[in-house]
Structure 1
Amino acid sequence: MSPRVSFVIPTKNRPEGVRRAVTSVLAALPEDGEVIVVDDASDPPATHALREVTDPRMILYVNPGPHGPSAARNFGVRQTQAPVLMFLDDDDLLVEDYCLRVISRIDSLPDDCTFGFSASYHLEPDGSWTEVQSISPAGVLGDETPLKYRQAGLGMGCWITRAAFDAVGGLDESIDVNEDTEFSVRLAASGHRCYCDQTPGVILIHDPVRSASDQSSITKAAGARARFRGFEYILLKHQDFLKGHGAFRRKMFTRVVKYRVRAGSVAGWFRFCAQHRPVSDVVLYIAPGALWLGLSKLLRRKP
């Protein structure tokens, strides 16, 4: 019997985290669901951490490469034929009723509402949970909703129909950070609407309460250079679509400048700006960006 829903959990060097993540999903999964764990070059292999998990609904695969969060997720998706895909990071937990909430809701959604995300709980150092609402309004979100509210973080209770995932070509393996932003922009550009569930679907476990044996967040570990290159990549790849989303584009440019300042990198800024149209918009970005980058460079040189 083919699974109705498949969770894809990529993992690397988080033995305690992935064990807890898988356990939380199995407790919430219907009998016709499955958990695809993708070992993305863990050392020691993830099979060590999961050796006591005997539930046949969990299947562990070793990603032969290419590696990275997007490539590992794409590899995991290729291992299943489930019509509904859900994602969970290997350092987070699933709220027990979330999977069934998603499955029961999908059939009532418009045909073009093909993906969604949820609010979350944050695990605090004292063991308590803090509920954190999504910045997005609840319900079906389409063109009438600003693009910044249609961003589905892959670790934020993200689900998507298999048909939609395949239609847009899966995740872009060219970038290791900001990949969920690129994916959400691509889905919006292709006419897909999303659903925001303001009842938490995941429990996020951040560095202060993560097991000491587990690797830190990939996004936090990524250098400022990788961060600004990711945002520049998205702005260039989707610049035709983003012309109609000025507020979102300005926010992205601001992030480029922010992380360029942190990286102390001026090289390539003018070339990057020159690739954008219309020219009137570029002038708004290039001058203040150059000023901030120049000042940061001077401050770094002060004894």
Structure 2
Amino acid sequence: MFLSIIIPLYNRPQEIDELLQSLTKQRYTDFEVIIVEDGSTKASQAIVEGYNDRLAVRYFVKPNEGQGFARNYGFARAKGDYFIVLDSDVLVPEDYLLHVLQGLERDRWDAFGGPDAAHASFTATQKAISYSMTSPFTTGGIRGNKKHVGQFHPRSFNMGLSKAVYAQTQGFKLARRSEDIEFSIRMINNGFKVGLIPEAFVYHKRRATFMQFFKQTNFFGKGRIDIYKLFPAELKPVHALPAVFVIGLAGLFLLNIVLCLTDGAYPWLAWLTAVGNGFILLYTILLLLHACLTTKNMGVGLLSVLAAYTQLIAYGTGFIGSYVKNVLLKK
């Protein structure tokens, strides 16, 4: 089977160099790589062309329209039986494509997704963010888990689809923000068999700072409301949990202020505040213990708690803000 790997690129010359280097080590070699430079100001042409002697790689440049349409540009020029979509900030293990082929042969997927993991070379912050995005203690646990909630929706950092799927769907309809979820739902609605290949994981080199991570996950929270407006039945209770968490934190903060101002004059208020504080403390302790055991590093475990709170607050505020603006106020 011939595979086409499609990679949209925007101002990431170092990342694409690392990704292409990992692709040269694939044990399965019957594939091509299509790089679509989506209006970057930091061109990567020289870096990509430096791999011409090691990879069947083609490089294209187009005006900036967003990663969804950049992938479509690559689909239209791909020669493979299956198209594999990767983000430019991932690294692939040497047996990644073999696992993809084995999963396709075993489960006969028309389209698939795979999980992500943290590489040993990642910084402590990157490992903490990776933990948060894949942890059962945050909504990240539904992204690439065998026991995911409801129908699995492949994400574009690690996604594959057959040529037949592209021919019928014509690829991404959204340029940015939840474009992969919309595409996944549409593939399923078109009757294609879509699922997870758990062994086909990639190392996802996520945003390097907590501020960047906050902006990214806030964007995801807004995107979930975009999906709700297109497919109302796809909004599940689990998607609203970060919003509930944010509202609970805000309420608990106010309870503690009122308790201090009233000097404990109302026993029921003291009891309610103590229960809330106890819940947050227990959640934080369990989160820390799980993060330390998972990452096998106390420092990364501590940063993982910060990453988890960052993710939940960012996603929750994005979800609430977009719901109020686009659903309640109908702007």
TM range (shorter): 0.5 to 0.7
State the shift of 1:246 in Å.
5.0
Judge conservation of contact 1:12–1:46 (CA < 8 Å) in 2: no
Alignment partners' CA distance in 2, 1:57 and 1:166: 23
Give deviations 1:244-283, integer Å, cap 9, x for gaps.
x7546766997997315568x954442449xxxxxxxxxx
Judge conservation of contact 2:187–2:194 (CA < 8 Å) in 1: no
Note if 1:146 corresponds to 2:150. Answer: yes
State the shift of 1:108 in Å.
3.6
From 250, 259, 262, give the equivalent of 2:318: 259
Alignment partners' CA distance in 1, 2:39 and 2:227: 27
Aligned residue for 1:198, secondary structure, equals coil
Judge conservation of contact 1:5–1:32 (CA < 8 Å) in 2: yes
The match for 1:58 is 57
Which structure 2 residues correspond to residues 1-303 of structure 1 after superposition, within 5 A?
A: 4-28=2-26, 30-54=28-52, 55-63=54-62, 65=63, 67-110=65-108, 113-123=109-119, 124-125=122-123, 135=142, 138=146, 146-147=150-151, 150-155=152-157, 157-173=158-174, 175-199=175-199, 201-208=201-208, 221=215, 224=218, 227=220, 230-239=223-232, 242=233, 246-247=236-237, 258-259=317-318, 261=320, 266-272=324-330
Percent of aligned pairs sharing the same letter: 17
- Is the alpha carbon distance of 1:52 and 1:172 closer, same or farther for their aligned partners in structure 2, counting shifts above 3 Å? same
State the shift of 1:22 in Å.
1.4
Once the two structures are overlaid, the 10-residue window that deviates more, 52-61 or 8-17, is 52-61
Judge conservation of contact 1:235–1:252 (CA < 8 Å) in 2: no
Aligned residue for 1:27, secondary structure, equals coil
Give deviations 1:104-148, integer Å, cap 9, x for gaps.
3323434xx311122322133269988968645549x9xxx713x
Compare the two structures and name the one with the higher strand fraction: 1
Q: Which amino acid aligns with 1:61?
A: F
State the shift of 1:27 in Å.
2.1
Instruction: Tell me the TM-score normalized by structure 2.
Output: 0.63
Q: Which amino acid aligns with 1:14?
A: R
Alignment partners' CA distance in 2, 1:69 and 1:40: 7
Is there any run of 5+ residues in structure 1 with no aligned partner, and where?
A: 210-215, 274-303
- Is the alpha carbon distance of 1:47 and 1:227 closer, same or farther for their aligned partners in structure 2, counting shifts above 3 Å? same
Judge conservation of contact 1:70–1:179 (CA < 8 Å) in 2: yes
Which structure: larger Rg? 2
The match for 2:138 is none
Alignment partners' CA distance in 2, 1:207 and 1:260: 20
The match for 1:277 is none
- Is the alpha carbon distance of 1:222 and 1:207 closer, same or farther for their aligned partners in structure 2, counting shifts above 3 Å? closer
Alignment partners' CA distance in 1, 2:315 and 2:126: 35
Give deviations 1:131-166, integer Å, cap 9, x for gaps.
968645549x9xxx713xx021111x3211121133
Judge conservation of contact 2:97–2:200 (CA < 8 Å) in 1: no
- Is the alpha carbon distance of 1:24 and 1:41 closer, same or farther for their aligned partners in structure 2, counting shifts above 3 Å? same
Compare the two structures and name the one with the higher helix fraction: 2
Is there any run of 5+ residues in structure 2 with no aligned partner, and where?
A: 136-140, 245-313
Instruction: Tell me the TM-score normalized by structure 1.
Output: 0.68
Equivalent pairs, count? 248
- Is the alpha carbon distance of 1:198 and 1:169 closer, same or farther for their aligned partners in structure 2, counting shifts above 3 Å? same
Judge conservation of contact 1:4–1:84 (CA < 8 Å) in 2: yes
Aligned residue for 2:198, secondary structure, equals strand
Alignment partners' CA distance in 2, 1:170 and 1:271: 31
- Is the alpha carbon distance of 1:268 and 1:158 closer, same or farther for their aligned partners in structure 2, counting shifts above 3 Å? closer
